[in-house]
Structure 1
């Protein structure tokens, strides 16, 4: 078999073919800058490692080359729901796409295998577990192949947040099919993870295409957790009362309770976690994808790769375990590029709970050390006083020249105060109580709360008893939260969160350095008249009635086809139809996102809908 160096190069006519596919099938005039470079490399037969933010157009980077190169493009995808979603979207475009997974009958799988062998497919999706079966590898050896695309490639990293063991064996593709170009794609990978992807998948010589991590349309906000349910309700009511969104919780029980609370408050909220029957999970996901204004309350397992473009907010009621996880989960908001919100509340108990889960995990000590570092970085992001987006991008090695102007620390810069004396009191009290008690007990001692437990321990006679009466319990919780986040205190992960000193606190105790702390803002309502996270059509389109008529047309067609509305046309395409009001199929074909197959299927229906719109003023 020829080696990689002998792979054919793309000619200008081949790239012209790629641009024709982009326009004719997908309905776009030109590639985005990096997309074009990746497509050129892949149709030339080169390997590629691609890092693009969610919504940046990663899928086109392998879908177009798979249709240009002879043979079928094989896409390795980690989730059944993800591959089914993508195949359904491609079928709407007239692309010959299929998947092989455990949901199919033997007859259905056999038909697809025959289509593969006969060269009747452009794209075939399968999970890594299936691809690695000897029978599947033998089948691929007999089929005409265009490329291999390894989606969600960060799953190969043992230190990543979505590790999948089967991804570790995908280096077999390079061994069995060295002449077939491979592309690995992800939206979330720091330098360490990118290096690990290249090593484990034998892509060290692959061309790297790294786009910026910034999602400027997402507004990032982090606040202290007081009454999480009330805070969430206030946030949704004030800013996203009729929007689709995702609420992430750490436990299944919290998911159920939060979904129930939102439903009782009048929202269309559904739970999603691994403990639910598979039919229930599928039904809830289908509702989320197809209906407007549905809120999914989920554990972190929900949403990877789901191409719902109009998720207007992602909320976290519990602290994510790493910046990678936070970025990946918040990235499910605003895939259409419109304003969206990433909202989170967290408290010290979140830190203790995550550390308890980490220490109880079966991972090696090296694994746990790496995970502790990731959690510390996440805590640091929560407590920054500078631009939050700038700090997050810096973690991934991406640099923002100036503050973003669209995060909480930019919009409402946090106040700081000289916390040196308060910190010395807090650290001294932890030390004098024996470094065996949790934050609430230590605060009671500081504030002079002589309850029975404190009297039994004799801590009402300590020199630190009552020396912190000048601060409220809420203020002290803020102090302790920041000391744990800054690494000055450690919260015991094995018991009840007992606080202990670290070596880092010594200069503070000795008075050799001072410390500035964040002053947590008092809870207050945001102005409903300026909902920074919302992106309802009337904010950008002058004809809300016309917009609703086109949405109704789209929903009717979607129900006929049995697909989510966004698979008919994304909101951006619908808005362009409303603004340009095409009066012929030729004019309709000029709209971004209207390829030939969709023009044939839906062109007349939308022309009829446009003709019924009220005249533009």
Structure 2
């Protein structure tokens, strides 16, 4: 049976999950990234001619899995923006498709729901099921509708899969999806072939040291293919330029994201710089290293993204470039995501007044407000026309006390996530990184690394010597490897340096080597200045405006 998907042996937990599906039972499958969750539903899907529906939050995830099944000769289709959905629907109705991949938003389409009613469902799969839980790191209100959809479809055998469910999240998944006495499959969370390094970067020149470490580390052949995760779209573009690698984030056109993903999967490029939009959906087995330029929002998010490395069982590295300054960004995200009783009440009042109770709800804040209002009993949500959400208002006053309770709970959960990643990345934290991760996910078994464990037990001596010294906060000599520069341009910068030194030794502003690198790179912003060896935050504060003005002339 395993030969259907080109494999010969089961991994831990897979056999139990497959058997539950074949027996028509519900299942909760919690396995680490790379543990083989997809086989748990793909194998039983291919053992029948009935339809298996796989719900996934990311187009990238669906595209990879759909392409793999079709390449093996198995009829699979996917429905998502930018795809040929009409042909996919025809394949479902006509009985040709065995597996249909779809985003949860797709259930807003009456045509899709109607097509599903014409087939017997062998299995309904909720992948990345932590998205259904407000305790999960990637909560998505659209997932809250899946329990209703499952019931409408007659509650076919349902399998919920996730890589990052803490015990609390796992219980909420079972409750939210109304799983019936599910088979609970929970394999160990350890990834023995991965090492976990946290490298601290703070103080003067920390951004330049951090950039140098990333460049040197990613350039090492043993660390490629590599994925570099950034916290914002802007930093994704900047780091992509630094590494001369493609960027990937949700703000890019669909076609461009597809090209980047395809180039990475095929080996045409072996480095991608991305936001978490690239995270869950990329099933590339030979990624050797995953780098985090910025702190992710939670330890669950970090472990899932780090787990993209070493899925083939060969050694892989997860490297977190930690800066205390990142914490401010996370605090800002928490504050921006906060919803209040007044905001929920305002939304409900607006809905009562407008009469048309279908919303596009494209903004994340609107979706969160709707989800809170629904939890408080003020309304119920169901799929509407054309991707909109249909709202049915309750015939009773808003329970402001319940809303306040829900708002507080959501805020508390976000702060708990913040504290977990803050503690993990703390430079003064001397607990084994692997042990911290296993404890967080409720796995008491001892970690069993097959190579290096983490920076606590095994200092990261794999870094190039100069970069390693910088990562430890030591001074390192500036090494020039660029072409000669125009002496006239260098003289102009030296004259500028003398003026800025204001009677002090010239080297207190910048060395000759740094000036030559400025000429080679021709920076146009403070961030580009910080990427130059020998330039730190203090230099930027004192001299950036003056130097950039001179360079512009």
The whole-number CA distance in structure 2 between the counterparts of 1:100 and 1:339 is: 35
The whole-number CA distance in structure 1 between the counterparts of 2:230 and 2:92 is: 41
2:437 to 379, 392, 400: 392
Aligned-pair Cα RMSD in Å: 2.3
- Deviation of 1:299 (Å): 1.5
Partner of 1:230: 212
Is 2:423 aligned against 1:380? yes
C-alpha spacing 1:386/1:110, structure 2 compared with 1 (3 Å): closer
| Equivalence map 1:176-575=2 (5 Å) | 176-178=152-154, 180-203=156-179, 205-225=181-201, 226=206, 227-238=209-220, 240=222, 243-263=224-244, 269-363=245-339, 364-383=407-426, 384-401=429-446, 404=449, 406-412=453-459, 521-522=472-473
- Deviation of 1:139 (Å): 2.1
> Any conservation in 1 of the 2:89–2:112 contact (CA below 8 Å)?
no
- Deviation of 1:293 (Å): 4.8
The whole-number CA distance in structure 2 between the counterparts of 1:276 and 1:70 is: 38
> Any conservation in 2 of the 1:91–1:97 contact (CA below 8 Å)?
yes
Partner of 1:52: 31
C-alpha spacing 1:273/1:402, structure 2 compared with 1 (3 Å): closer
Is 2:130 aligned against 1:149? no
- Deviation of 1:70 (Å): 4.4
C-alpha spacing 1:524/1:237, structure 2 compared with 1 (3 Å): farther
C-alpha spacing 1:413/1:332, structure 2 compared with 1 (3 Å): closer
Partner of 1:72: 51
For residues 53-78 of structure 1, what are the alpha-carbon distances to aligned partners after superposition, in whole Å with 9 as ceiling and x for unaligned? 11211111111111223411111121
The whole-number CA distance in structure 2 between the counterparts of 1:524 and 1:287 is: 38
C-alpha spacing 1:317/1:40, structure 2 compared with 1 (3 Å): same
Is 2:55 aligned against 1:88? no
For residues 422-463 of structure 1, what are the alpha-carbon distances to aligned partners after superposition, in whole Å with 9 as ceiling and x for unaligned? xxxxxxxxxxxxxxxxxxxxxxxxxxxxxxxxxxxxxxxxxx
C-alpha spacing 1:362/1:90, structure 2 compared with 1 (3 Å): same
2:114 to 117, 135, 138: 138
C-alpha spacing 1:279/1:29, structure 2 compared with 1 (3 Å): closer
C-alpha spacing 1:402/1:51, structure 2 compared with 1 (3 Å): closer
For residues 362-421 of structure 1, what are the alpha-carbon distances to aligned partners after superposition, in whole Å with 9 as ceiling and x for unaligned? 33332222111111111222233122101111011012326745211111399xxxxxxx
Partner of 2:497: none
- Deviation of 1:319 (Å): 1.1
The whole-number CA distance in structure 2 between the counterparts of 1:222 and 1:56 is: 24
Unpaired runs of at least 5, structure 2: 340-406, 462-470, 477-553
Partner of 2:92: 116
Matched position secondary structure for 1:232: helix
- Deviation of 1:48 (Å): 0.3
The whole-number CA distance in structure 1 between the counterparts of 2:49 and 2:249 is: 41
> Any conservation in 1 of the 2:26–2:180 contact (CA below 8 Å)?
no
> Any conservation in 1 of the 2:192–2:447 contact (CA below 8 Å)?
no
TM-score, length basis structure 1: 0.60
- Deviation of 1:104 (Å): 3.4
Unpaired runs of at least 5, structure 1: 1-18, 264-268, 415-519, 526-617
Partner of 2:402: none
The whole-number CA distance in structure 2 between the counterparts of 1:101 and 1:413 is: 42
The whole-number CA distance in structure 2 between the counterparts of 1:358 and 1:111 is: 42
- Deviation of 1:132 (Å): 4.4
C-alpha spacing 1:280/1:397, structure 2 compared with 1 (3 Å): same
Matched position secondary structure for 2:101: strand
Is 2:78 aligned against 1:99? yes
> Any conservation in 2 of the 1:387–1:403 contact (CA below 8 Å)?
no
The whole-number CA distance in structure 1 between the counterparts of 2:108 and 2:122 is: 18
> Any conservation in 2 of the 1:97–1:123 contact (CA below 8 Å)?
yes
More moved, 130-139 vs 365-374: 130-139
- Deviation of 1:238 (Å): 4.3
C-alpha spacing 1:115/1:261, structure 2 compared with 1 (3 Å): closer
- Deviation of 1:239 (Å): 6.0
